[in-house]
Chains A and B, each alone.
Chain A
Amino acid sequence: MKYAKDNIQEIKADVFKPSRRDFLKAGSLLSGGLALGVSFWSCDSKGAKTALFEPNVYLTIGTDGIVTIMAHRTEMGQGIRTSLPLVLADELGADWEKVNIEQALADEKYGDQNTDGSYSIRMFYKPFREAGATARQMLVRAAAAKWKVNEDECSTAKSEVLHTASGKSISFGELVEDASKLEVPEASEIQLKAVEDFELIGKATPIVDGHNIASGKAVYGIDAAVEGMKIAVVKRCPVVGGSVVSFDAEKAKAIPGVLEVIEIKGPGLPATLSKPLSGVAVIAENTWAAIKGREALEVEWDLGPNATYDSDQQIAELKESVKKKGTDRRVRGNFTQAKASAKKVIEHTYVAPHLAHATMEPPAALAVVKDGKCEVWAPTQNPQGARDVLAEELGMEKGNITIHVTLLGGGFGRKSKPDFIVEAALLAKESGYPVKVTWTREDDIHHDYFHALSVQRVVATIDSQNKLSGWNHHIAYPSISATTDTSVLQPSVGEMMLGAIDFAYQVPAIQIETHDAKSHLRVGWLRSVRNIPQAYAICTMLDEVAEARGMDPVQNILDLLGEDQNLTFAEEITDGGYPNYGESIEDYPWETARMKAVIKKVAEDANWGRKLPSGSALGFAAHKSFLTYVACIVEVKVNGSSVEIPNVYYALDCGTGVNTDRIKSQFEGGAQFAASFALKSAITFKEGRVVQNNFDGYEIIRMPESPKNIHVHIMESTAKPTGVGEPPVPPFAPALANAIYAATGKRIYEMPMKW
């Protein structure tokens, strides 16, 4: 297979069911009612719990008036434990200060729990509003009946139903019993709040975990503990696809506190997106003993076919192959002709290295396997996916597996893979102990599901009318799909969708081609995924195009976006269609007007065009990803080979902004995340092994060199909300490179950047 036709959500669905698509096929929450056989909207099945009003799976109200909202998505720093429940609370009219947030177990009854792809809010904003509005309507109905007044004279606020005319009020708690007896209203009966009545949506709401985090009480996966728990540290094969030939546990067992040494069988190749690597685990009384035990452990490996892999050599080879004719992935007009008649041709090759996620909390998970049941505490982005994989690996019914989702000390895509959870469960099963697997930082950096290196060549042609007449983009990188199928050599449609085949500019000839790049590692997805190298190549090349046209870079992009219109380029894509992040293009069109608006806004906020002292400059880039429109301007002050970043400006359009403070914090963090790979981070492989070990070799940005002020403007909008976790990342690095060029006259074609 040359390349996979799946999109990014389907890649994951191969491994993790139910996929988001299956979930959506089950219908909207209200009309479908059933998802995988479990009712979302039932008033029955309460049995002994008659004291609770449970109009849907996300909400319970007790007779004590306590409103509990389930957080069924994973919290990893984006604030979703706050931002999604507040949507329900707002529609309900709950007293937010007193709402109790409960983290959901892995369970299909909640619908999709795979927290990935910047789609929690996109997918659940409407269902959560409907869930809150349904409950509100039932409570109002109960109160109106009690008071013998019309329902439409009643409203809710602060967890009470109010009758304004008479001044009567009654708490939700007092209505629980009556409301529980009512029929759940039909979808058509539900009235959502008017935008101007929102109390929480569209405002800045502090996160619900703030106090616990600041006082050290927050529990992450690595903090999970049960009585009798032991710690495992695993020595994994240094080369992906290798395996254990033999091991000698004697010296390890001599370390005080070491209890057991157990082999974990790996899948070989393909490495898969779910299975542990081949390795040998040391189980000990505590982490230090396990670490010392692993140091003493002797393992002989069969390193397998990837033992000669050298990433520098692969980059050198790919630089050659992208010069050739590749596989056409999108074609408009005739690029060959455009080039032949061009007045000017600009051509460059862009290189980016492998990256590791390096979440501050390394992978860690606790498992107890006892009496045919398994209970897990884990920092997982994908609880249901993890449960499915565990069922398979342990040969257990899903119903016997309980997954508690802890807070995540960062996710960025790493913790959507359950390999470390499987390790814990297998070791718990084998040893009989409750086992917490802890990855050291070295483990994390050596054995990640990496963001793969990339080599891209862009040829841009300018005609005698000074128009951009042709665009030829060549792309080569190991595909995520190769992690599950080693025969895949080229990017999937899903990867190409991330900022390459959705090239949005008015150019008469477009030719986008891909090339073979074999995978020798576990490739995964990292915050914004392939948008990173694709946006880098496009947005820095367009800066050169502006210069070649003698135009201001911002004016150039506005000009290239053309008239206000909804773009349709699906028929130019050779695989017949554009996945649009899993949404239909009718529901979420590509609107050039919205892109132009964020560009104009950021230019205004940054005072684009202002005079700066020599060595200082502004750089610009705009990039839509995950259905959110983003424009970015970076201000630099270059001192020799180092750079200061006094200001970053973003303008974004994510439709309705739910929690403005968390949108801003995602953009602030996104800029810093991008600053790390733009300036610091690279993973290299020699002889099949990762060269870097810890934060000395694999550097991330530190406070003194980090962007100092990050200004974020959220466009006013009532459009459907779209994600904000990933969209800030892609435009930052090209904006930075364009700024450094403006300050120094040096173009940068390689990350991490040097000039």
Chain B
Amino acid sequence: MAEYTLKINGKSYTTNAPEDMPLLWVLRDLLELRGTKFGCGAGLCGACTVHLEGAAIRSCSFPVSAVGSQAITTIEGLSENGDHPLQKAWQEHGVPQCGYCQTGQIMNAAALLKQNPKPSETEVEKAMQGNLCRCGTYTRIKSAILSVSND
């Protein structure tokens, strides 16, 4: 067990956790930030995607001890009122079905656009391949991302 002070969504949180505890469970269980989802616990589905210094990481496979002073952004902090261009596009395109995978999808897409504001269709597919959607919303995810990048 050790004490960690984490920078999350521009705020500072202090918590006690074993060093091997994945960031996912720190967020969900210790800090009650439950917008980040558990899907596989093994880096295979992307449901747990958050940003570490703006880059997408799988929080289920990222131990809290490796965070250090790096800034974390979760879906709760992506925008003030859920109005990030991608969050708006997600609604305009009616992307979500059950919605469970979508916070991970949005976080992954936001990191992609930060890196590559005008991705091609193939680049979107490649960047999003780690994010599973069992409801099968892929075609709408893609058009939502492309609509934002074309704006």
Contacts and interface: CB of A to CB of B under 8 A. Distances in A.
B139 interface: yes
Interface residues of chain B: helix, strand, loop or mixed (majority): loop
Nearest to B98: A77
A669 B136 contact: yes
B40 A695 contact: yes
Contacts of A675: 136
B35 A217 contact: yes
A615 interface: no
A700 to B, nearest CB: 6
A359 interface: yes
B25 A286 contact: yes
Contacts of A412: 134
A358 B138 contact: no
Contacts of B101: 360, 409
B124 to A, nearest CB: 8
Interface residues of chain A: helix, strand, loop or mixed (majority): loop
A360 B47 contact: yes
Given A225-B32, A695-B44, A703 B87 contact: no
B29 A706 contact: no
Contact of A231 (B29, B39, B131, B135): B29
A673 interface: yes
Nearest to A648: B139
A617 to B, nearest CB: 21
Contacts of B7: none
B132 A695 contact: yes
Nearest to B36: A216
A495 interface: no
Contact of A223 (B34, B74, B135, B139): B34
A108 interface: no
A703 B142 contact: yes
Nearest to A662: B94
B47 to A, nearest CB: 6
B97 A669 contact: yes
Contacts of B141: 703
A288 interface: yes
Contacts of A441: 39-42, 44-45
Nearest to B90: A214
B144 to A, nearest CB: 10
A704 B91 contact: no
B25 to A, nearest CB: 4
A706 B138 contact: yes
A76 B139 contact: no
A210 B137 contact: no
B103 A665 contact: no
Interface in B89-146: 90-91, 94-103, 106, 124-126, 128-142
A673 B128 CA distance: 17
Interface stretch (A124-132, A321-329, A532-540, A707-715): A707-715
A33 B21 CA distance: 55
A419 B138 CA distance: 31
B142 A288 contact: no
Contacts of A359: 98, 100, 134
Contact of A695 (B25, B28, B45, B97): B45
Interface in A442-494: none
B140 A360 contact: no
A669 B129 contact: no
B1 A288 contact: no
Interface in A59-118: 75-79
B139 A710 contact: yes
Nearest to A204: B94
A409 B98 contact: yes
Nearest to B106: A214
A542 interface: no
Contact of A214 (B17, B102, B134): B102
Interface of B: 1, 17-18, 21-22, 25, 28-30, 32, 34-42, 44-45, 47, 74-76, 79, 81-82, 87-88, 90-91, 94-103, 106, 124-126, 128-142
19 contacts: A76-B98, A213-B103, A214-B95, A216-B74, A287-B28, A287-B29, A288-B25, A359-B100, A361-B37, A362-B38, A409-B37, A410-B134, A441-B44, A672-B136, A672-B137, A695-B45, A696-B44, A703-B129, A707-B138
Given A256-B1, A287-B28, A360-B47, 20 more contacts: A209-B99, A213-B103, A214-B88, A215-B82, A216-B35, A218-B99, A286-B29, A288-B29, A358-B134, A361-B37, A410-B135, A668-B136, A668-B137, A669-B135, A670-B136, A695-B40, A700-B134, A702-B130, A707-B139, A709-B139
